Amino acid sequence: QQQQNYGNSSFMSRVEESKPNAYSGGAMAPVHTGNAPILHPIKDLNPYHNRWTIRARVTQKSAIKSWNKPNSQGRLFSVNLLDDSGEIRATAFTQQVDRLFPMLEAGKVYYISNAQVKMARTQFSTLNNQYELTFDDSTVVEQCVETTGVPQEQFNFIPLANLMNHEKNSIIDVLCVVRDIGDLTEITPRNGPADRKMIKRELTVVDRSGYQVRLTLWGQEATEFSLPKDSIVAFKGVRVGDFGGRTLSLPSIGAMTANPDISEAHMLRGWYDSTGRDSAYQAYDGVAGGAGSGAAVRQDQLKTMAQVRDENLGGSDQPDYFTVKGTVVFIRSTSLAYPACASPDCNKKAIEDSMTGQWRCEKCERSFAAPDYRYIFSVNVSDETGHNWMQCFNDIGEKLLGCPASEMVRLQQTDDVAFTQKINEATFQEMVFRCRAKSETFNENTRVRISIMNMNPVDYVAESRRLNKLIESFSI
């Protein structure tokens, strides 16, 4: 990059004249007049070059946030800045919040100079840039009327079918159709105080790759979400999760744009209206359903028990996820559940105190009169090619046995006939299972453990269609 000489720039002269009292609190950004300054690309910003001017669009602007720690307190807000070379995050702290917050508006283009360039704190940014900006007293912001050549937004869309190629906690962009919209729910964070609540809303989204995934919105994004079903949304900076295979969530540093005016969105809309609306989708979490359903699964992706064995699923360092159709032929019922902590969102095992009769959770450091039993047991699932032992956890146990674990423990202790009937009713049911296979080592012995992540009754209409297509593929 050729070094630029800013000494005679009329813009840089005004920079010197405007420090730091040129702006009163709450003032809008002045409009730049005169000749355009010599510009520096965002991608070339670094801590060793401090005389620069960028022309950038504000693509995202956060709310003002406060912090209060024993040794400091203050406020901040941040913006994402974009030019044709790249993106960078910029943050204003305490004294600069009142001055700069009203100046910077999302979607507008500005000339910006005299900000500190620092190493990026990746926990607070989703942008592909090793540096970030910090606004200070000398930072100058002027609105730019000429916006030619400044892009509206920059995305790097990942097809939903490729989510398994991205590790847990990876940050990606996706362009998808909102297939289903869940209700607002309130949860207590696992590691937070008991009185702290979080609001979330779960969406089911799909794209042209034929996959669907659960995407979670949090806080204000969840409460203010008002788009109708079948809307096209570009999500920037969503976090990849591995619960049930793959999930997505939109962190506070991410953003979403409804019906963006980009070619990819127009192509997705055309495909969805003509074909995708009535298509079936492969679900990472194993939810099953027919064509046209928000929870549809492409049944042609089913594995057989023989394929699970022959393909050595779960035999590598990374877990494998797959779907099978099979019948529960045996439930290991000698030990169905364990006594868990009764605190919300804590699943740790509780230990009974023989002296007091209380149940103690060492993690929460609390005692309870009775534990909250949770399922953990194994079932044998069989199809026409073989069988496998699979592990069931609490949600799957409740779905399979039809009652909470505490009720099954009570029946096991007091009513053997009713307990046996529950077990018998749960066996010889044909289901579609979404599974996770992973190698585990215990006492120097390694084996593959298969866990059931989700299960649903077989959709026999969809299954008949799948088998019919399979038969047609064998035509001579």
The span from the CA of 179 to the CA of 176, in Å, is 9
Residue type for position 124 = F
Angle ∠(336,341,344) on CA atoms, nearest 5: 115
Q: What per-residue confidence (pLDDT) applies to 59?
A: 87
Instruction: Give me the sign of the Cα torsion angle 30, 35, 36, 38.
Output: negative
Polymer length in residues for the chain: 476
Helices (H), ranges, 25-152: 97-100
| d(C-alpha 42, C-alpha 127), whole Å | 12
Which of 169, 189, 181, 172 shows the shortest CA–CA distance to 206? 181
Cβ neighbours for 15, distance < 8 A, ≥ 6 positions apart: 113, 114, 138, 140
What is the full per-residue pLDDT of the chain (476 aa) written as tens digits?
Answer: 333 333 334 333 333 333 333 333 456 788 888 788 889 999 999 998 888 999 999 988 888 888 887 888 899 999 999 998 989 999 999 889 999 999 999 889 999 999 999 998 877 777 888 999 999 999 999 999 888 888 877 788 999 988 888 888 888 999 999 999 999 988 776 555 556 678 999 999 999 988 899 999 998 889 999 999 999 999 988 999 877 678 999 987 788 889 988 899 999 999 999 888 888 788 775 433 333 333 334 444 678 999 999 888 888 877 888 889 999 999 999 889 999 988 766 788 989 888 888 898 888 788 888 898 999 999 999 999 999 999 999 889 999 999 999 999 999 999 999 999 999 999 998 998 988 888 887 777 788 899 998 888 888 887 787 778 778 877 65
- The alpha carbon of residue 44 and the mean position of all alpha carbons in its chain are separated, in whole angstroms, by 31
Q: What global pTM score does this model have?
A: 0.51
Q: Which residues contact 247 (CB under 8 A, 6 or more apart)?
A: 213, 214, 215, 216, 240, 241, 284, 285
Helix (H) or strand (E) holding 217: strand 211-218
Closest CA to 36 of 64, 71, 11: 11
- The pLDDT value given to residue 23: 38
226 with 201: CB under 8 angstroms?
no
Residues whose CB is less than 8 angstroms from the CB of residue 193 and which lie 6 or more positions away in sequence, other chains included = none
**E strand map for 70-187:** 72-83, 86-93, 109-113, 116-119, 131-135, 140-143, 171-181, 185-187
Structural tokens at position 446: 């390694």
Measured in Å, how far apart are the chain's first and last C-alpha atoms? Answer: 64
